[in-house]
A = this chain, B = another copy of it.
Amino acid sequence: MKILSKADLESLDKYHRINLINTLSGIKSASLIGTSDTEGMTNLSIFNSTCHIGANPGSLGFIMRPISVERHTYANIKSTNHYTMNIVAQGFYTQAHQTSAKYDKLTSEFDACDLTEEYIHGFKAPFVKEANIKIGLVFIEEHLIYNGTILMVGEIEVIAIEEKGINESGHVDHNILNTAGVSGLDTYYTVKELSRLPFARP
């Protein structure tokens, strides 16, 4: 085993450290967060930090980088209260990744990255037509973390999902939906179900 202390980590080349720390904790889901400003200008950005907050009411969180620079996703969520999470699948992960480029405020990543805006059930923020799992959320609260990042928490208002992707027990089948995984900011993975284990008892 290679052992790295905090001092060892600090002495690493900056990009080596970033890559290591970003990819260390395993595979994450990649989500495209769709928003629009109060004028209807849309924005789309990829995040790898979606986490489950609760099932009743359904709520999800994600981590926003520090707002020391302009963050269109943050500004749009704060001004409209609505946003969408669209789970990245293998069929459009390269376009999804391209949304991480720094486009100016007047460019919608939907256009620039060849993804299609979709509106569902009157929900105010744009979904990604190419996604087969789409979640519309209402902003609930934010928590400022000590390093300037922010936990954003929202409640699920609407879900759109391919029918074939939900099984009888309610589980989403990520095999059938070809869901992608991501490690860090750049390495995409395919996933394949290994096993569903029963509820564990002592």
Number of interface residues, chain A, beta carbon within 8 A = 111
* Cβ of A36 under 8 Å from chain B: no
* Cβ of A9 under 8 Å from chain B: yes
* Cβ of A161 under 8 Å from chain B: yes
Closest to A141 in B: B146
Q: Tell whether, in the assembled complex, residue A183 and residue B174 are in contact, meaning their CB atoms are under 8 Å apart.
A: yes
Q: Tell whether, in the assembled complex, residue B25 and residue A31 are in contact, meaning their CB atoms are under 8 Å apart.
A: yes
Residues of B within 8 A of A199 (CB): 186
* Cβ of A17 under 8 Å from chain B: yes
As for how many copies of this chain the complex holds, the number is 2
Q: Tell whether, in the assembled complex, residue B145 and residue A53 are in contact, meaning their CB atoms are under 8 Å apart.
A: yes
* Cβ of A75 under 8 Å from chain B: no
Q: Tell whether, in the assembled complex, residue B188 and residue A197 are in contact, meaning their CB atoms are under 8 Å apart.
A: yes
* Cβ of A108 under 8 Å from chain B: no
Known: A6-B155, A25-B135, A101-B202. 11 other contacts (CB 8 A): A1-B134, A2-B162, A3-B158, A6-B58, A10-B57, A24-B133, A26-B50, A26-B133, A28-B51, A48-B52, A171-B183
Q: Which residues of A contact B (CB under 8 A)?
A: 1-6, 9-10, 12-31, 48-63, 85, 87-88, 90, 93-94, 97-103, 107, 112, 120-121, 132-135, 140-141, 143, 145-147, 149, 151, 153, 155-163, 166, 169-172, 174, 179-181, 183-184, 186-202
6 inter-chain pairs at a CB distance below 8 angstroms, sorted by A residue, are: A16-B170, A26-B174, A26-B181, A172-B183, A186-B199, A191-B192
